[in-house]
Amino acid sequence: MPSLSTTGSNSFSDRCSRLLPGLLLSAIIACAAIQLGKLEWMQTHGMSALTLAIIVGIILGNTAYPKLAPACDAGVTFSKQSLLRLGIILYGFRLTFQDIGQVGLAGIAIDALVLTSTLGLALLLGTKVFKLERNSAILIGAGSSICGAAAVMATEPVLKGRAEEVTVAVSTVVVFGTLAIFVYPLLYQANLHWQLLGATPASFGVYIGSTVHEVAQVVAAGKAISQDTANAAVIAKMVRVMMLAPFLVILSAVLARSKSAGKGESKPAARLAIPWFAFIFIAAVAFNSLDWLPGKLVASITDIDTALLAMAMAALGLSTHLSAIRRAGFKPLLLGGLLFAWLIVGGAVINHLVAALFTLFS
């Protein structure tokens, strides 16, 4: 009779054998995306490794992957679920609480107002006007209002959304975030004349950081104006990224309450699905804020994080069927476009009003 330790070892070995092909495929796509993302043209146009990973994944997922799926599905699923959560946790090592101090209370207020207004608009337009499923509206809203593809991927485990819904949401980030890279430098020139957001590169940088989708797109748009603009934009964006964790917790609580209400008072309340990885993400930010780790080690951690998130995006692309995206139709893209317009116009108004109020009372 085999011992318990032998049985456990065999079980672990079998699980590794099932996961390995899919993990290797996700890793190969991620490595290719990371190398492509280092090209100057890609960086200039805000095409990050995450964006490239999902694009390559979708291409393979709708051509060669179906033949590999029986062997690779387990590892691909592990990549887009477990590796994703680990990637979000390690993302905390890109941030510090000191970032908040650099943008001040005005910057925090701007980020919070842009986030909540964009999410609210996404839900209102998505469910009431375009008649989209609530999950699709929330995912598109999260991508537009917080930090692009990373926010979409982090929100998916809480919503338990379908791969097609996630991919459609990421697509809106890719399309309109890339467009933002070219639009914001033109807006900066217009602002020099109208002075709506102040004349300094830093004040316009806060506007970019509080309204552009992806971190890579923020960097590209900011650098197209000046390095000072890029620096302020990245700091404002990092504070916005930090709001991902409380958003996930609040979303989880709201979903649990709505499920309980749907069941009626006579039945037990729906269990709150706590996104523990969001709390660990905050802990990672707090630890990174202490500045105990050498800079080279933090850089290595962020490199590993990029690889993990790229693997998750590649896996998502592999499991996405273009036929399902086609069935989703034009409405999600239209919603993303309207949110993009809100981020530009409404974001400018929010930036202007908050800055004016803080100047008035300072």
Per residue in 75-123, pLDDT tens?
999 998 889 889 888 888 987 888 777 788 898 999 999 999 999 999 9
Q: Would residue 133 count as lying in a domain?
A: yes
Q: Would residue 13 count as lying in a domain?
A: no
Q: pTM of the prediction?
A: 0.75
End-to-end CA distance of the chain: 77
Q: Would residue 10 count as lying in a domain?
A: no
Q: Which domain holds residue 133?
A: 19-361
**pLDDT-derived band at 339, boundaries 50, 70, 90:** very high
**How many residues are given for the chain?**
362
Burial class (CB in 10 A: 0-12, 13-18, 19+), 359: exposed
Distance between CA atoms of 74 and 215, rounded to whole angstroms? 30
User: Which residue is listed with tokens 């998750």?
Assistant: 312
Q: Would residue 4 count as lying in a domain?
A: no
Cα–Cα distance list, 61 to 27, 58, 124 (Å): 15, 5, 33
Q: Would residue 11 count as lying in a domain?
A: no
Structural domains in the chain (count):
1
Q: Would residue 6 count as lying in a domain?
A: no
Q: Would residue 131 count as lying in a domain?
A: yes
Per residue in 132-191, pLDDT tens?
999 999 999 999 999 888 888 888 888 887 888 888 898 888 788 878 888 998 899 888
